[in-house]
Structure 1
Amino acid sequence: MRRFFYATSSDDSNDTGTTYPKLSTLPIGANVELTESIVHHWCRVLRANIGDQGILFDGFGGEYQVQLQTISKKHATVVLLAYSANDRSTPIFTNIGLVMSRGERMDYAIQKSTELGVTAIQLLSSHHGEVNLKPAQVEKKLAHWQQVAIAACEQCGLNRPPLIIWPLSINEWLSNLSANPSNIEMTVSPIVCKLSQDSYYQALQQPADLRMQLSVPAAGQPAMPESLPKVLKQKTAYIQLLIGPEGGLSSDECQQAAKAGFEPWQIGTRVLRTETAPVVALATIHALSQ
């Protein structure tokens, strides 16, 4: 069955004035009005018919089997048939500080990181980075990348979308982590604004159990921090990763990362592209945790 993210808050101007309840507040058998984005995708693009069934998830945990009840030009309703507590989130919380790259490479990094269960991605700009967004571009790009993550959730079965966090310079982000790691403000796209306040995501406000910087392989450098296997044995672990741009981080940025507690982590003997590094890092973390 098709899966759709049921956003309780929206960045769609067509939804202005409409409120959408958390699905958990509704009883099985209740009728639910679909958001404009779901109506467009399911009913117009996919040409769904009354009686068709699908899956809704709102990011607050679990998912609901639903059946289309009514369809009109701009609206559609479903009835909640059944609830499943399937979460599919990993027990390891991960927040990637990712220096932004151009076009499809950034989309790929976010999409694949989502499939591998990342909890959040902090967008960064850096000295050698290719992308420095103008203020007028930020909101549009943030919404686009959040939708990339949501679409990946719809495809892979994850019921808690990762938060894509408003871009900062790498210097500002590292300074914030050093100054007050438990009070980092998370500015996100309006579509996940309510969701970001859920208790599940509050782990991101705590100091990380381990911070690692994906680094270029270097002779004499440890392959990975000694504490990583121990951290992965915890019932729940929170790991922050820092991944630089194609040109690498500057020496000053590397020094600042070290002062903020980021330990170098080299995976293999080859240099990974910036869109490949998150995939390899997350896959390795989950493999080591088994």
Structure 2
Amino acid sequence: MRQGLLRVPLTSLAPGLVPLSPEVARYVSRVHRLREGERFLAFDPERALEAEALLVGSGKGPSAARIDVVRAASLVPRRAVTLIQCVGKGDKLDAVIRDATELGATRVVAALSARCVARPQGDRGGRWRRVAVEAARQCGRGDAPRIEGPLPLTEVLEALDGEAAVCLDPRAERSLGTWLGGMLGDAGGRRGIALLVGPEGGLSEEEMDACSSAGFVRVRLGRFTLRTETVCAAALGALLALDDDAQERADAVG
């Protein structure tokens, strides 16, 4: 793939002539000033596919893309990472989803806990999906995380499927760094990870006990109490850096 091409999300990516929606056609031709005959990089965030595309159209402007070869996306996360984020006020979850996408989360679950003040109404899932796809486009990622919820926290805890799970708790004795160091150095290699972040008021003791019963390890992130929307970037950033470091060491040995 040539570097520097405009990246455009397209669903149902396949060889041949792919129609562009009016929104996508307007985006490439009016926002980015691409003309017929110019190329861009199309990617399918649902199936982690990508392809060089040639912009074609009628006399009224670009309306389709001609695609020859479709291949697996070159940049996707190496590890399955689930972020369980208790819903915060306003548009905080938009920012969390954007950060989580850029930092390699493969699944984001919006959870409703006892101290959640906000209770999202309407089709927030569609909006959150658009936020994730746009973040993937901007950061060069070839897929986008699966977005779920909002769901009751108890239901989310029951649905875990073998991930190594941690709950962020500023009062915990064990640090996230210590836990990650041990887990990433484990012979388990590519085991999935789940991170749970509470709302503005934190999780109740009953919810903390439920997390422990579900197999979550309580860990702290530094000495300070972070805002709920800040924890995602800090925790996933640490995971990404340590995981890359562990992979480099494994590659050097191998």
TM-score (norm 1): 0.75
User: Are 2:41 and 1:55 aligned?
Assistant: yes
What one-letter code is carried by the residue in structure 1 that aligns with 2:6?
A: R
Alignment gaps of 5+ in structure 1: 9-21, 182-205
Structure 2: distance between partners of 1:78 and 1:113:
30
User: Are 2:117 and 1:165 aligned?
Assistant: no
2:9 aligns with one of 5, 12, 23 = 5
SS class of match (1:107): helix
Structure 1: distance between partners of 2:22 and 2:11:
10
Per-residue deviation, 1:4: 1.2
Per-residue deviation, 1:288: 1.9
SS class of match (2:57): strand
1:65 aligns with one of 52, 66, 84 = 52
1:30-45 matched pairs, under 5 angstroms: 30-45=16-31
- Per-residue deviation, residues 160-184 of structure 1 (Å, max 9, x unmatched): 100111211112222x23xxx4xxx
User: Are 2:241 and 1:255 aligned?
Assistant: no
1:222 aligns with one of 174, 199, 202 = 174
Name 2:105's counterpart in structure 1.
Answer: 118
CA contact (8 A) 1:91 1:235 kept: no
Name 1:188's counterpart in structure 2.
Answer: none
Per-residue deviation, 1:49: 1.8
Name 2:236's counterpart in structure 1.
Answer: 282
Per-residue deviation, 1:87: 2.7
Number of residue equivalences: 237
Per-residue deviation, 1:257: 0.8
Per-residue deviation, 1:127: 1.1
RMSD between aligned alpha carbons?
Answer: 2.2
Per-residue deviation, 1:216: 1.4
- Per-residue deviation, residues 77-120 of structure 1 (Å, max 9, x unmatched): 11225556443222221111111123342211111111011101
User: Are 2:194 and 1:207 aligned?
Assistant: no
SS class of match (1:235): coil
Structure 2: distance between partners of 1:172 and 1:71:
51
CA contact (8 A) 1:123 1:165 kept: yes
Structure 2: distance between partners of 1:163 and 1:245:
21
Q: Is 222-231 or 154-163 further displaced after alignment?
A: 222-231
Name 1:128's counterpart in structure 2.
Answer: 115
SS class of match (2:232): helix
Per-residue deviation, 1:132: 1.1
SS class of match (1:79): strand
SS class of match (1:237): coil
Name 1:103's counterpart in structure 2.
Answer: 90
Aligned-residue identity in percent: 27
CA contact (8 A) 2:55 2:62 kept: no
CA contact (8 A) 1:225 1:264 kept: no
User: Are 2:221 and 1:236 aligned?
Assistant: no
CA contact (8 A) 1:50 1:71 kept: no
Name 1:149's counterpart in structure 2.
Answer: 132
Alignment gaps of 5+ in structure 2: 246-254
CA contact (8 A) 2:76 2:143 kept: yes
Name 1:78's counterpart in structure 2.
Answer: 65
What one-letter code is carried by the residue in structure 1 that aligns with 2:98?
A: Q
Structure 1: distance between partners of 2:38 and 2:241:
38
Structure 1: distance between partners of 2:19 and 2:29:
13
CA contact (8 A) 1:5 1:150 kept: yes
Structure 1: distance between partners of 2:80 and 2:59:
41
